[in-house]
Structure 1
Amino acid sequence: MGLQIPVGFTEKGLAEFAIPGWGTAYVFGLSVFAETLAFLTLGLVRPWGEVWPRWIPFLGGKGIHPVTAIVPAASGAIAVTVLTTWSAFRWDQAGVTMAEGSFESGGGYDVVMACCYAPLLLWGPLLAVVTAQYAWRRLGQRSQDALQPLGGGA
């Protein structure tokens, strides 16, 4: 859409979204924002999700408290699951607020749009699974550390 490739929107439809113009920046900005959040998910399965990278001032090299990652990730999982589920049930309503002649039905555009958006239905539940595994691993590790005797023996 941001590149003005016809994916079902007519010239009139693109104009409604101010494409070309500020709408193009919005579409690309929204894409970068979503990809950044998706990239942060890797922190739940990579070591940099447990220790702040050294290049971050004042925090670099320090451990990340598990709740610092768990709360935003769990909130994101819930929000994405609710939003995508709600949107899936309203899929037939897509485009009803657009002016007549802004969107072309048929011609395979509906299938292309469905294929582009369908994977989003998995993002929330998969993020929830990864978040739960991170919480289990990090909080369970802290519980085990707490149970270790001090001084190394009896």
Structure 2
Amino acid sequence: GYTEAGYRAMGLTGWGAVWPVFLSLFTEALALLTIGLVRPWGTVPPRWVPFFGGRPVRPRAVVLAASLGAVGLALLWTPFVGWWALPGTGMTPLGHTLVGFLYLPTVAWAPLLAAVTVSYHRRHRAPSAATTLPRTA
């Protein structure tokens, strides 16, 4: 949505202009990985996935990665709650308000990822001794 002059004003010229596109694609890919916490391929990835395909994943590693992701997202996006208190960065007041509303849903990403991670952990943890005791007649 920026013009060439807008990219120059931000210091994003040449390959620097590719950075926002890469960042957008990278965050979309990470967001799609969240689906693996609620779908069967979060337990055994499809065979076409390089390095991991067809082999069961270790739930502990998945929970650790997703937990670190939730913490990172919380650190990154929680300050955005106060967007409207920040001074405008060369934007019009309408643009400043619009950006705030467009990015506000990202604040929910961390707690939602944490909730899905807890659910994945509960579904994939080893059964406790209380649930594996044989019944007596």
Q: Answer whether TM exceeds 0.5 for this pair.
A: yes
Q: Which amino acid aligns with 1:40?
A: L
CA distance in 2, matches of 1:134, 1:82: 22
Encode CA deviations 1:92-121: one digit per residue, 9 max, x unaligned. 0563xxxxxxx2332x10121011110011
**TM-score, structure 1 normalization:** 0.72
Which structure 1 residue ranges, 4+ long, deviate > 6 Å from structure 2?
Answer: none
* Alignment counterpart, residue 92 of structure 1, candidates 86, 92, 96: 86
State the partner residue of 1:104: 91
Gaps of 5+ in 2: none
Deviations for 1:9-64, whole angstroms, at most 9, x for unmatched residues?
x94x5313345532321000000000000000000001000003212456432211
Gaps of 5+ in 1: 96-102, 150-154
Structure number having the greater helix percentage: 2
Distance 2:11 2:127 in 1: 54
Distance 1:34 1:127 in 2: 14
Q: Which residue identity is paired with 1:105?
A: T
Q: What is the aligned length?
A: 132
Cα distance in 2, alignment partners of residues 58 and 117 from structure 1 = 34
* CA gap 1:84/1:49 in 2 versus in 1, 3 angstroms: same
The answer as to whether partners of 2:73 and 2:109 remain within 8 angstroms in 1 is yes
RMSD: 2.7
Q: Contact between 2:88 and 2:96, CA under 8 Å: does it hold in 1?
A: no
SS of the residue corresponding to residue 45 of structure 2 reads coil
Q: TM-score, normalised by structure 2?
A: 0.80
Q: Match for 2:132: what amino acid?
A: L
- Which of 111, 133, 138 is residue 119 of structure 2 equivalent to? 133
Say if 2:32 is the partner of 1:43. no
